[in-house]
Amino acid sequence: MATRWSIVSGVAAAALVWGAAAAQAEPVRLVLWHMEQPPHRVARVQELIDAFNKSHPDIAVKQEPQSWGEIYAKAPAAIAAGNAPDLLFAIPDFTPILKDLGALQSVDGFVKRLDAEHHFVPSALAPYSYDGGVWAVPLYNMAMSLWYRKSVFAEAGLTPPKTWSEWKAAAEKLTADGRYGIGLPANKQLYTDQTVYDLMVNAGAADIYNPDGTLRFDNPQTVKAYDFYKDLYQFSAADAPGWTWGEAEACFASGGCGMILQFTVISTYDSQAEGDAQDLGVAPIPHADDRKESGTIAYSNAVMILAKDEAKRKAAETFIAWLLEPETYGRFLNMEPGLFLPVTADGAKAKSLWSDPLVVKYKPQIEAMIANSRNGALFGFTGGHTFPSIAAISAQNILAETLQKVVVDEMSAADAVKAGQARMQEAVK
């Protein structure tokens, strides 16, 4: 009898020890949602995750790529259903939505620690700092530029346009059989919001809000921007009302578009077009004739920590801190060389950033993009203010919707902008 009890006790103790060991060996699992869907970006993120998981056996990160088109709907639904990811990439106007749902905790302390080590570019951090907290950790900057082929411009006797008059003339001259002078979108989607805002910035209409938080979208500069967009749009493709970033890039890569507004075209140009670095031109976005300098849409992307569990939050911080280490940060940014610009001082100098073969090949273009980004702005985050209600305007793509009234419904720009302001007021109510 005693022997039997000994055996039972021994087995039970062994099971307990094994169970405890197994529980200890079980890594903290993190699910990461990001919206960098192109396969080469997903592959690079996976490479980094594999490296991280290998060097941190106590943490297991898994990526689940999402779409920018759906994430504004999907993330709140996932949170409501209890299926939210632990980490979620964001742009500035996305964080207020999740913060209002109570899904975010401030990462102020964590960001301070990172800042002491890596020194964030202040403008990258500002859009995520409001209501007494910091709601996401900046990861990379983006800025739009005008892309063209030097040989095509030379053949047409053109130089990169600086003003809107020159720009329109160039688009007209580049329009030929089988080629659109310019590829401009008119989809009710984020890409169109961005290209419209490019023109607003260059017309002097960067501020959608007054400093007191009231809307000032309906003003002569905004109308001027929409009017000029319509002028240029006549030289764009007939199916532009369905375009997102990919279609514009494809049009440029195939030579079907003489120029486009895009964050970068380097990857597609190098892999699917000529890949002649000497011929790829990048210029600041032209400004209205009565203005002196060019501006662009520019903003930092960030990552939010949605995990509530303390162990998961710590693991998420470990992953983000690892990502921002200079030796890994450059590899992360180069998932799309030239598109993702550094937000930390040591990241900007990182060897891992500048040693990538594509970055080496297209260094002048990347330096030009960085220079363009210095005069950047983002709707709802201008003049040192942050207006969280921009989230509702952005989620409904009201800038793009207003453009569709002008180029599809043929409404006058003044009436469309007036209607746009009314829609914004309804949205932020």
- In sequence order, what DSSP letters do the residues of 299-349 get, joined into one string? EEEEEEE---SHHHHHHHHHHHHHHTSHHHHHHHHTTSTTTSB--BHHHHT
Tell me the backbone φ, ψ of residue 225, rounded to 5 degrees: -65, -45
Calpha distance 218→423 (Å, rounded) = 11
Q: Which of 404, 412, 419, 425 binds another protein (CB under 8 A)?
A: 404
Question: Could you tell me the smallest distance in angstroms from the CB atom of residue 90 to another protein?
Answer: 16
Asked whether position 72 contacts another protein by CB under 8 A, the answer is yes
Residue 189 binds another protein (CB under 8 A) = yes
Q: Is 272 in the site for another protein (CB under 8 A)?
A: no
Q: Compute the least distance from the CB of residue 248 to another protein, in Å.
A: 11
**CB-based burial label for 175 (10 Å; 0-12, 13-18, 19+):** middle
CB of 230 to another protein, least distance (A): 13
Which residue stretch of 159-167, 206-214, 377-385, 388-396 sits at the interface with another protein (rule: CB under 8 A)?
Answer: 388-396
Q: Rule CB under 8 A: say whether 101 interacts with another protein.
A: yes
Query: Least Å distance between CB 409 and another protein?
Result: 5
Cα 144 from Cα 126, distance rounded (Å)? 19
Pick the piece of the chain touching another protein (CB under 8 A) from 41-49, 71-79, 154-162, 291-299: 71-79
Question: Residue 395: what residue type?
Answer: A
Task: Tell me if 149 contacts another protein by CB under 8 A.
Answer: no
Q: Which of 254, 345, 363, 383 binds another protein (CB under 8 A)?
A: 254
Q: Across 104-244, where does the E strand assignment appear?
A: 129-130, 133-134, 137-143, 145-149
Which lies closer to another protein via its Cβ, residue 334 or residue 394?
A: 394
Q: Tell whether residue 239 is a contact of another protein (CB under 8 A).
A: yes
User: Total number of residues binding another protein (CB under 8 A)?
Assistant: 35
408 binds another protein (CB under 8 A): yes
**Using the rule CB under 8 A, is 253 a contact of another protein?**
no
118-139: burial string, b at 16+ Cβ within 10 Å, e else: bebbebbbbbbbbeeebbbbbb
| Helix and strand numbers, DSSP H then E, in the chain | 21, 11
Stretch that binds another protein, among 6-14, 70-78, 345-353, 357-365 (CB under 8 A): 70-78
Residue 90 within binding range of another protein, rule CB under 8 A? no
Nearest to 197 by CA among 142, 234, 237: 142
Interaction pattern, residues 340-369, with another protein; x per rule: CB under 8 A: ------------------------------
Q: How far is the CB of 280 from another protein (least distance, A)?
A: 20
Nearer of residues 347 and 388 to another protein, judged by Cβ: 388
419 binds another protein (CB under 8 A): no
CB closer to another protein, 179 vs 216: 179
Long-range contacts of 100-106 (CB under 8 A, 24+ apart): 100/388, 101/76, 103/79, 103/306, 104/135, 104/136, 104/304, 104/305, 104/306, 105/305, 105/313, 106/132, 106/133, 106/134, 106/135
Phi-psi label, residue 86: left if phi above 0, alpha if psi -120 to 50, beta otherwise: alpha
Stretch that binds another protein, among 20-28, 149-157, 262-270, 403-411 (CB under 8 A): 403-411
CA dist list (Å): 298 to 106, 195, 301: 24, 11, 10
Min CB(414)–another protein separation in Å: 17
Helix axes 190-201, 398-407, angle to 10 degrees: 80
Distance CA 306, CA 304 (A): 6
Q: Which is nearer to another protein, 201 or 259 (CB)?
A: 259
Stretch of 205-213, 237-245, 301-309, 351-359 lying at the interface with another protein (CB under 8 A): 237-245
Residue 260, H or E segment: strand 259-262
User: Is residue 105 within the footprint of another protein (CB under 8 A)?
Assistant: no
> Which residues sit at the interface with another protein, rule CB under 8 A?
69, 72-73, 76-77, 79-80, 97, 100-101, 186-189, 237-242, 247, 250-251, 254, 256, 392, 395-397, 401, 404-405, 408-409, 427
